[in-house]
Amino acid sequence: MIYMSFVKNDNQQLTVLDSTFNLTERRKTNS
């Protein structure tokens, strides 16, 4: 879903940053 969101909002850097941030937070939580 994150990848599709990235493609869908290719020109919206905030969305990309938000997706990356969420991914990082998930890794922290899983660890």
- For 1-31, write each residue's pLDDT tens digit: 556 555 665 556 667 778 888 888 888 888 7
pLDDT score at 5: 59
**Does residue 15 form part of some domain?**
yes
Q: Which domain holds residue 14?
A: 1-25
**Does residue 30 form part of some domain?**
no
**Does residue 16 form part of some domain?**
yes
| Structural element, H or E, at residue 11 | none
Structural domains counted in the chain: 1
**Does residue 14 form part of some domain?**
yes
**Does residue 10 form part of some domain?**
yes
pLDDT score at 17: 76
**Does residue 31 form part of some domain?**
no
pLDDT score at 24: 86
pLDDT score at 22: 86
Burial of 17 (0-12, 13-18, 19+ CB in 10 A): exposed
**Does residue 18 form part of some domain?**
yes
